[in-house]
Amino acid sequence: MIYSQNLNEKNPSLSLAEWITGIPVIYFPAGLIAAAIRFKNSLQENSKLHVITEDVIEACHNGIVSWERSSNAQPILIEGTDDYVKTKERWDILKDYFNGEKIEWTNARVHVLNHGLHYGSCVFEGERVYDGEIFKLEEHTERLFYSASRMEIKIPYGQKEINKACKEMVLVQKVKNGYVRPLVWRGSEMMAISAQKNTIHVAIATWEWGSYFDPELKLKGIKLNISSWRRPNPNSVPWDTKSSGLYMICTLSKHEAESKGFTDSLMLDHEDNIAESTGANIFFKNEKNEIHTPIPDSFLDGITRRCVIDIAKSKGIKIIVRKIKPDEMSSFSGCFLTGTAAEVTPVSQIDKYKFNVCNVIKDLSESYQALVQKKTAA
Protein backbone atom coordinates (compact mmCIF):
# COMPACT_ATOMS: atom_id res chain seq x y z
CA MET A 1 0.00 0.00 0.00
CA ILE A 2 1.21 3.51 -0.81
CA TYR A 3 0.27 6.56 1.24
CA SER A 4 2.01 9.80 2.18
CA GLN A 5 3.80 8.37 5.25
CA ASN A 6 5.53 5.50 3.42
CA LEU A 7 6.24 7.02 0.01
CA ASN A 8 9.90 6.00 -0.19
CA GLU A 9 12.21 3.56 -1.96
CA LYS A 10 11.68 0.86 0.70
CA ASN A 11 8.03 0.43 -0.27
CA PRO A 12 7.75 -2.49 -2.76
CA SER A 13 4.38 -1.18 -3.96
CA LEU A 14 6.08 1.96 -5.24
CA SER A 15 8.65 -0.12 -7.12
CA LEU A 16 5.85 -2.16 -8.67
CA ALA A 17 3.99 0.99 -9.70
CA GLU A 18 7.13 2.34 -11.38
CA TRP A 19 7.67 -0.96 -13.17
CA ILE A 20 4.18 -1.16 -14.68
CA THR A 21 4.21 0.57 -18.05
CA GLY A 22 1.97 -1.81 -20.01
CA ILE A 23 -1.06 -4.01 -19.32
CA PRO A 24 -0.64 -6.05 -16.10
CA VAL A 25 -1.55 -9.75 -16.27
CA ILE A 26 -2.02 -11.11 -12.74
CA TYR A 27 -1.43 -14.85 -12.33
CA PHE A 28 -2.86 -16.38 -9.14
CA PRO A 29 -3.33 -19.81 -7.49
CA ALA A 30 -6.88 -21.10 -6.97
CA GLY A 31 -6.95 -20.17 -3.28
CA LEU A 32 -6.12 -16.50 -3.93
CA ILE A 33 -8.73 -15.65 -6.55
CA ALA A 34 -10.39 -13.09 -4.24
CA ALA A 35 -7.05 -11.37 -3.56
CA ALA A 36 -6.24 -11.32 -7.28
CA ILE A 37 -9.61 -9.70 -8.16
CA ARG A 38 -9.18 -7.13 -5.37
CA PHE A 39 -5.68 -6.36 -6.63
CA LYS A 40 -6.98 -6.08 -10.19
CA ASN A 41 -9.73 -3.65 -9.18
CA SER A 42 -7.29 -1.53 -7.20
CA LEU A 43 -4.83 -1.37 -10.09
CA GLN A 44 -7.53 -0.44 -12.58
CA GLU A 45 -8.92 2.29 -10.34
CA ASN A 46 -5.56 3.90 -9.51
CA SER A 47 -3.59 3.40 -12.71
CA LYS A 48 -6.48 3.77 -15.18
CA LEU A 49 -5.13 0.73 -17.04
CA HIS A 50 -6.77 -2.45 -18.25
CA VAL A 51 -5.76 -5.34 -15.96
CA ILE A 52 -6.13 -9.08 -16.68
CA THR A 53 -6.31 -11.94 -14.16
CA GLU A 54 -5.57 -15.57 -14.98
CA ASP A 55 -5.32 -18.81 -13.03
CA VAL A 56 -1.75 -20.10 -12.85
CA ILE A 57 -2.81 -23.62 -13.93
CA GLU A 58 -4.53 -22.34 -17.06
CA ALA A 59 -1.58 -20.05 -17.74
CA CYS A 60 0.72 -23.04 -18.10
CA HIS A 61 -1.73 -24.81 -20.44
CA ASN A 62 -2.86 -22.24 -22.98
CA GLY A 63 -2.18 -18.73 -21.71
CA ILE A 64 1.58 -18.95 -21.89
CA VAL A 65 1.61 -19.30 -25.69
CA SER A 66 0.34 -15.73 -26.01
CA TRP A 67 3.68 -14.50 -24.63
CA GLU A 68 5.38 -15.79 -27.77
CA ARG A 69 3.95 -12.76 -29.55
CA SER A 70 5.22 -9.23 -28.95
CA SER A 71 2.92 -7.15 -26.69
CA ASN A 72 3.01 -4.55 -23.93
CA ALA A 73 1.57 -6.96 -21.34
CA GLN A 74 3.51 -7.42 -18.08
CA PRO A 75 3.21 -10.52 -15.84
CA ILE A 76 2.61 -10.23 -12.09
CA LEU A 77 2.71 -13.45 -10.06
CA ILE A 78 0.79 -13.80 -6.78
CA GLU A 79 2.20 -16.77 -4.89
CA GLY A 80 0.63 -18.31 -1.79
CA THR A 81 2.60 -19.54 1.22
CA ASP A 82 0.87 -22.94 1.25
CA ASP A 83 0.14 -23.58 -2.43
CA TYR A 84 -0.54 -27.15 -3.57
CA VAL A 85 2.66 -28.94 -4.64
CA LYS A 86 1.54 -29.08 -8.29
CA THR A 87 0.77 -25.36 -8.19
CA LYS A 88 4.30 -24.71 -6.91
CA GLU A 89 5.62 -26.63 -9.92
CA ARG A 90 3.57 -24.36 -12.19
CA TRP A 91 5.07 -21.32 -10.47
CA ASP A 92 8.56 -22.59 -11.19
CA ILE A 93 7.68 -23.09 -14.86
CA LEU A 94 6.29 -19.55 -15.15
CA LYS A 95 9.22 -17.96 -13.30
CA ASP A 96 11.76 -19.75 -15.48
CA TYR A 97 9.85 -18.73 -18.59
CA PHE A 98 9.49 -15.05 -17.74
CA ASN A 99 12.99 -14.69 -16.30
CA GLY A 100 14.38 -16.25 -19.47
CA GLU A 101 12.16 -14.34 -21.86
CA LYS A 102 13.49 -13.98 -25.41
CA ILE A 103 12.85 -10.49 -26.74
CA GLU A 104 13.17 -9.18 -30.27
CA TRP A 105 16.07 -6.73 -30.68
CA THR A 106 13.70 -3.84 -31.47
CA ASN A 107 11.47 -4.59 -28.45
CA ALA A 108 14.19 -4.60 -25.77
CA ARG A 109 13.39 -2.04 -23.03
CA VAL A 110 15.00 -0.82 -19.83
CA HIS A 111 13.84 1.83 -17.40
CA VAL A 112 15.34 5.26 -18.16
CA LEU A 113 16.18 5.70 -14.47
CA ASN A 114 18.14 2.47 -14.11
CA HIS A 115 21.26 2.81 -11.99
CA GLY A 116 23.51 1.28 -14.64
CA LEU A 117 22.64 4.03 -17.09
CA HIS A 118 23.08 6.91 -14.65
CA TYR A 119 25.89 5.73 -12.36
CA GLY A 120 27.69 2.99 -14.27
CA SER A 121 26.45 0.05 -12.14
CA CYS A 122 26.89 -2.34 -15.04
CA VAL A 123 29.30 -5.14 -15.91
CA PHE A 124 29.49 -7.05 -19.16
CA GLU A 125 31.43 -9.47 -21.32
CA GLY A 126 32.31 -9.66 -25.01
CA GLU A 127 32.47 -13.15 -26.48
CA ARG A 128 33.24 -14.36 -29.98
CA VAL A 129 31.25 -17.01 -31.85
CA TYR A 130 33.15 -19.13 -34.37
CA ASP A 131 31.26 -21.63 -36.46
CA GLY A 132 28.33 -21.54 -34.03
CA GLU A 133 30.37 -22.04 -30.84
CA ILE A 134 31.39 -19.48 -28.23
CA PHE A 135 35.16 -19.36 -27.75
CA LYS A 136 36.33 -19.53 -24.10
CA LEU A 137 32.75 -19.21 -22.81
CA GLU A 138 33.51 -20.52 -19.32
CA GLU A 139 36.43 -18.11 -18.88
CA HIS A 140 34.29 -15.17 -19.97
CA THR A 141 31.50 -16.12 -17.58
CA GLU A 142 33.95 -16.51 -14.71
CA ARG A 143 35.22 -13.00 -15.43
CA LEU A 144 31.66 -11.66 -15.60
CA PHE A 145 31.00 -13.00 -12.10
CA TYR A 146 34.33 -11.65 -10.86
CA SER A 147 33.53 -8.20 -12.25
CA ALA A 148 30.10 -8.31 -10.64
CA SER A 149 31.58 -9.33 -7.30
CA ARG A 150 34.05 -6.44 -7.42
CA MET A 151 31.14 -4.09 -8.11
CA GLU A 152 29.15 -5.65 -5.22
CA ILE A 153 26.54 -6.93 -7.67
CA LYS A 154 25.08 -10.36 -6.90
CA ILE A 155 24.02 -12.02 -10.15
CA PRO A 156 20.69 -13.86 -9.59
CA TYR A 157 21.84 -16.88 -11.61
CA GLY A 158 24.67 -19.37 -11.47
CA GLN A 159 27.54 -19.56 -13.94
CA LYS A 160 26.16 -22.73 -15.51
CA GLU A 161 22.83 -20.98 -16.11
CA ILE A 162 24.54 -18.06 -17.81
CA ASN A 163 26.60 -20.42 -19.97
CA LYS A 164 23.47 -22.31 -20.97
CA ALA A 165 21.61 -19.10 -21.78
CA CYS A 166 24.48 -17.80 -23.93
CA LYS A 167 24.58 -21.04 -25.93
CA GLU A 168 20.80 -20.99 -26.30
CA MET A 169 20.79 -17.42 -27.62
CA VAL A 170 23.41 -18.28 -30.25
CA LEU A 171 21.31 -21.27 -31.28
CA VAL A 172 18.01 -19.36 -31.38
CA GLN A 173 19.54 -16.46 -33.32
CA LYS A 174 21.33 -18.90 -35.64
CA VAL A 175 24.58 -16.98 -35.21
CA LYS A 176 27.36 -18.60 -37.21
CA ASN A 177 30.21 -16.15 -36.68
CA GLY A 178 29.38 -13.30 -34.37
CA TYR A 179 29.42 -11.76 -30.94
CA VAL A 180 27.73 -12.38 -27.60
CA ARG A 181 27.23 -9.62 -25.03
CA PRO A 182 26.04 -10.73 -21.55
CA LEU A 183 25.45 -7.73 -19.30
CA VAL A 184 24.33 -7.21 -15.72
CA TRP A 185 23.06 -3.97 -14.23
CA ARG A 186 21.32 -2.44 -11.24
CA GLY A 187 17.69 -1.44 -11.79
CA SER A 188 15.63 1.65 -11.05
CA GLU A 189 14.19 1.16 -7.55
CA MET A 190 16.58 3.68 -5.95
CA MET A 191 17.53 6.75 -7.96
CA ALA A 192 20.52 7.84 -5.91
CA ILE A 193 24.22 7.07 -5.45
CA SER A 194 23.29 4.22 -3.09
CA ALA A 195 21.57 1.32 -4.83
CA GLN A 196 21.69 -1.56 -2.37
CA LYS A 197 18.02 -2.45 -2.79
CA ASN A 198 17.93 -2.24 -6.59
CA THR A 199 16.93 -5.31 -8.57
CA ILE A 200 19.80 -6.92 -10.50
CA HIS A 201 18.95 -7.45 -14.17
CA VAL A 202 20.66 -9.77 -16.65
CA ALA A 203 20.42 -9.68 -20.43
CA ILE A 204 22.25 -11.50 -23.22
CA ALA A 205 22.42 -10.15 -26.76
CA THR A 206 24.00 -11.84 -29.77
CA TRP A 207 24.45 -10.94 -33.42
CA GLU A 208 26.42 -11.78 -36.54
CA TRP A 209 29.65 -9.82 -36.65
CA GLY A 210 32.82 -9.91 -38.70
CA SER A 211 36.09 -8.10 -38.10
CA TYR A 212 36.45 -5.38 -35.44
CA PHE A 213 38.93 -3.47 -37.61
CA ASP A 214 38.78 -3.09 -41.39
CA PRO A 215 40.20 -6.40 -42.79
CA GLU A 216 42.32 -4.53 -45.36
CA LEU A 217 43.78 -2.31 -42.64
CA LYS A 218 44.58 -5.37 -40.53
CA LEU A 219 46.75 -6.76 -43.35
CA LYS A 220 48.76 -3.54 -43.53
CA GLY A 221 48.68 -2.83 -39.80
CA ILE A 222 46.53 -0.18 -38.13
CA LYS A 223 47.73 3.23 -36.95
CA LEU A 224 47.40 4.55 -33.39
CA ASN A 225 47.92 7.91 -31.79
CA ILE A 226 48.86 8.35 -28.13
CA SER A 227 45.80 9.33 -26.13
CA SER A 228 45.70 12.43 -23.96
CA TRP A 229 43.73 10.32 -21.47
CA ARG A 230 45.35 7.94 -18.98
CA ARG A 231 44.34 4.65 -17.40
CA PRO A 232 43.47 5.60 -13.81
CA ASN A 233 45.42 4.72 -10.69
CA PRO A 234 44.40 1.17 -9.70
CA ASN A 235 43.44 2.25 -6.17
CA SER A 236 40.83 4.65 -7.60
CA VAL A 237 38.70 2.26 -9.71
CA PRO A 238 37.94 -1.49 -9.99
CA TRP A 239 40.52 -1.62 -12.79
CA ASP A 240 40.51 -5.41 -13.28
CA THR A 241 36.83 -5.60 -14.26
CA LYS A 242 34.75 -5.14 -17.39
CA SER A 243 32.51 -2.46 -15.92
CA SER A 244 30.85 0.08 -18.17
CA GLY A 245 32.12 3.18 -16.35
CA LEU A 246 35.75 2.28 -17.11
CA TYR A 247 35.11 2.56 -20.85
CA MET A 248 34.21 6.26 -20.85
CA ILE A 249 37.85 7.31 -21.34
CA CYS A 250 38.22 4.59 -23.98
CA THR A 251 35.40 6.14 -26.00
CA LEU A 252 36.93 9.61 -25.61
CA SER A 253 40.35 8.28 -26.66
CA LYS A 254 38.90 6.45 -29.66
CA HIS A 255 37.03 9.57 -30.79
CA GLU A 256 40.19 11.62 -30.38
CA ALA A 257 42.14 9.13 -32.52
CA GLU A 258 39.53 8.94 -35.27
CA SER A 259 39.26 12.73 -35.48
CA LYS A 260 43.00 12.81 -36.23
CA GLY A 261 42.89 10.08 -38.88
CA PHE A 262 44.04 7.16 -36.70
CA THR A 263 42.23 3.85 -36.25
CA ASP A 264 42.72 3.51 -32.50
CA SER A 265 44.60 5.03 -29.58
CA LEU A 266 47.41 3.91 -27.27
CA MET A 267 46.67 4.66 -23.63
CA LEU A 268 49.34 5.20 -20.99
CA ASP A 269 48.84 4.44 -17.31
CA HIS A 270 48.88 6.90 -14.41
CA GLU A 271 52.70 6.65 -14.29
CA ASP A 272 53.07 7.30 -18.05
CA ASN A 273 53.94 3.70 -18.85
CA ILE A 274 52.39 2.02 -21.89
CA ALA A 275 49.15 0.30 -20.88
CA GLU A 276 46.84 -0.81 -23.73
CA SER A 277 44.72 0.43 -26.60
CA THR A 278 41.10 1.49 -26.07
CA GLY A 279 39.81 -2.09 -26.11
CA ALA A 280 42.77 -4.42 -26.55
CA ASN A 281 46.08 -5.42 -24.98
CA ILE A 282 49.35 -4.53 -26.71
CA PHE A 283 52.58 -6.42 -27.55
CA PHE A 284 55.91 -5.38 -29.07
CA LYS A 285 58.57 -7.46 -30.89
CA ASN A 286 62.27 -6.62 -30.92
CA GLU A 287 65.03 -7.64 -33.35
CA LYS A 288 65.76 -10.75 -31.27
CA ASN A 289 62.16 -11.92 -31.89
CA GLU A 290 61.42 -11.48 -28.20
CA ILE A 291 57.96 -10.21 -27.33
CA HIS A 292 57.48 -7.51 -24.70
CA THR A 293 54.12 -6.65 -23.15
CA PRO A 294 53.10 -4.37 -20.24
CA ILE A 295 52.32 -5.70 -16.76
CA PRO A 296 48.50 -5.75 -16.40
CA ASP A 297 48.40 -3.97 -13.06
CA SER A 298 46.10 -1.10 -14.02
CA PHE A 299 44.20 -2.60 -16.93
CA LEU A 300 42.42 -5.84 -17.82
CA ASP A 301 44.51 -8.97 -18.33
CA GLY A 302 42.63 -10.10 -21.43
CA ILE A 303 41.58 -13.67 -22.15
CA THR A 304 42.96 -13.33 -25.69
CA ARG A 305 46.17 -11.87 -24.26
CA ARG A 306 46.71 -15.00 -22.19
CA CYS A 307 45.89 -17.23 -25.18
CA VAL A 308 48.45 -15.51 -27.40
CA ILE A 309 51.12 -15.65 -24.69
CA ASP A 310 50.55 -19.42 -24.44
CA ILE A 311 50.76 -19.77 -28.24
CA ALA A 312 54.00 -17.78 -28.35
CA LYS A 313 55.56 -19.82 -25.55
CA SER A 314 54.62 -23.05 -27.35
CA LYS A 315 56.64 -21.77 -30.33
CA GLY A 316 59.67 -21.07 -28.17
CA ILE A 317 59.22 -17.30 -28.28
CA LYS A 318 60.45 -15.50 -25.18
CA ILE A 319 57.77 -13.38 -23.49
CA ILE A 320 58.91 -10.46 -21.32
CA VAL A 321 56.24 -8.83 -19.14
CA ARG A 322 57.48 -5.49 -17.80
CA LYS A 323 56.93 -1.75 -17.50
CA ILE A 324 57.47 -0.09 -20.91
CA LYS A 325 58.02 3.62 -21.48
CA PRO A 326 56.73 5.27 -24.69
CA ASP A 327 60.22 6.26 -25.91
CA GLU A 328 61.20 2.57 -25.87
CA MET A 329 58.99 2.03 -28.92
CA SER A 330 61.91 3.19 -31.09
CA SER A 331 63.70 -0.06 -30.19
CA PHE A 332 60.88 -2.35 -31.35
CA SER A 333 60.41 -3.57 -34.93
CA GLY A 334 56.90 -5.02 -34.57
CA CYS A 335 53.69 -4.37 -32.66
CA PHE A 336 50.24 -5.97 -32.40
CA LEU A 337 47.03 -5.83 -30.39
CA THR A 338 45.04 -8.71 -28.91
CA GLY A 339 41.45 -8.91 -27.78
CA THR A 340 38.24 -10.88 -28.18
CA ALA A 341 37.05 -8.37 -30.77
CA ALA A 342 40.46 -7.39 -32.17
CA GLU A 343 41.78 -11.00 -32.20
CA VAL A 344 45.43 -10.50 -33.28
CA THR A 345 45.75 -7.18 -35.11
CA PRO A 346 49.11 -5.90 -36.41
CA VAL A 347 50.05 -2.26 -35.79
CA SER A 348 52.09 -0.33 -38.36
CA GLN A 349 52.40 2.99 -36.53
CA ILE A 350 51.99 4.58 -33.09
CA ASP A 351 52.42 8.33 -33.19
CA LYS A 352 55.90 8.87 -34.73
CA TYR A 353 57.00 5.25 -34.25
CA LYS A 354 56.67 2.82 -37.18
CA PHE A 355 56.59 -0.99 -37.18
CA ASN A 356 56.73 -3.85 -39.69
CA VAL A 357 54.02 -6.50 -40.05
CA CYS A 358 56.61 -9.25 -39.69
CA ASN A 359 56.37 -13.03 -40.09
CA VAL A 360 56.37 -13.64 -36.33
CA ILE A 361 53.20 -11.55 -35.91
CA LYS A 362 51.57 -13.10 -38.98
CA ASP A 363 52.33 -16.58 -37.64
CA LEU A 364 50.85 -15.75 -34.21
CA SER A 365 47.73 -14.40 -35.90
CA GLU A 366 47.36 -17.52 -38.07
CA SER A 367 47.91 -19.79 -35.06
CA TYR A 368 45.28 -17.91 -33.06
CA GLN A 369 42.80 -18.27 -35.92
CA ALA A 370 43.61 -21.97 -36.08
CA LEU A 371 42.88 -22.24 -32.35
CA VAL A 372 39.51 -20.48 -32.47
CA GLN A 373 38.51 -22.34 -35.63
CA LYS A 374 39.62 -25.62 -34.01
CA LYS A 375 42.10 -26.39 -36.76
CA THR A 376 45.58 -27.83 -36.28
CA ALA A 377 47.80 -24.94 -35.30
CA ALA A 378 50.94 -24.35 -37.37
Q: Which amino acid is at 264?
A: D
Consecutive 10-residue runs of the chain (378 residues): their mean pLDDT? Answer: 54 68 81 86 85 74 61 77 72 63 73 93 97 97 98 94 93 93 93 91 91 78 97 96 96 97 97 97 97 97 98 98 98 97 96 96 95 67
- What is the per-residue pLDDT for 91? 67
CA 207-211-212 angle, 5° bins: 90
Strands 291-293 and 319-321: parallel
The number of CA neighbours under 13 Å toward the Cβ of 148 is 23
* pLDDT per residue as tens digits for the range 324-358: 999 999 999 999 999 999 999 999 999 999 999 99
Q: Which amino acid is at 125?
A: E
What domains does the chain contain, in order, with CATH numbers?
4-101 (3.40.50.10490), 115-208 (3.30.470.10), 215-372 (3.20.10.10)
CA dihedral 138, 143, 149, 155 (to 10 degrees): -40
The structure's pTM equals 0.75
The rounded Cα 73 to chain-centroid distance in angstroms is 27
Q: Which residues lie below 8 Å from residue 94, measured CB to CB, with a gap of 6+?
A: 27, 56, 59, 60, 64, 75, 77
Q: Which residues lie below 8 Å from residue 166, measured CB to CB, with a gap of 6+?
A: 127, 134, 137, 141, 180, 182, 204, 206
Strand partners, 130: 133
How far apart, in whole angstroms, are the C-alpha atoms of residue 150 and residue 239?
Answer: 10
- What is the per-residue pLDDT for 57? 66
Residues across the chain: 378
DSSP conformational letter for 31: G
